[in-house]
Amino acid sequence: SQQGEEDPQALSIQEGENATMNCSYKTSINNLQWYRQNSGRGLVHLILIRSNEREKHSGRLRVTLDTSKKSSSLLITASRAADTASYFCATDPSGNTPLVFGKGTRLSVIA
């Protein structure tokens, strides 16, 4: 069964605005990753956050993790048209298990 659920399913914003996507999961995790998928392409890794971390930054990306609420958020600041893509969270539900991906949030950044 699916572990991660992204919210919203789709998001449309103007260039320069911030975009926030959320991921909720059901069981305890060791790690949570965020990936981006441009239309017609493979997934590209953005950031990994471990269960003992609360926040990580990478350029214009900020990821938070709240293990008590079993949720994570991805914030993209000062969005650009090139950020238009689907964003997926992926979790490892327990131990040495494979990543389980959510269905993604489709982000459209309008120039």
State the residues that interact with other proteins by CB under 8 A.
2, 29-33, 35, 37, 40-45, 48, 50, 86, 88, 90-92, 95-101, 103-104
Q: How far is the CB of 16 from other proteins (least distance, A)?
A: 27
Q: Please say which residue, 83 or 92, places its beta carbon nearer to other proteins.
A: 92
* Amino acid in position 30: N
Q: How far is the CB of 30 from other proteins (least distance, A)?
A: 6
Q: Please say which residue, 45 or 80, places its beta carbon nearer to other proteins.
A: 45
- Tell me the backbone φ, ψ of residue 81, rounded to 5 degrees: -55, -35
* Amino acid in position 87: Y
Residue pair 63/47 in contact by the 8 Å Cβ criterion: yes
> How far from the centroid of its chain's Cα atoms is residue 96's Cα?
21
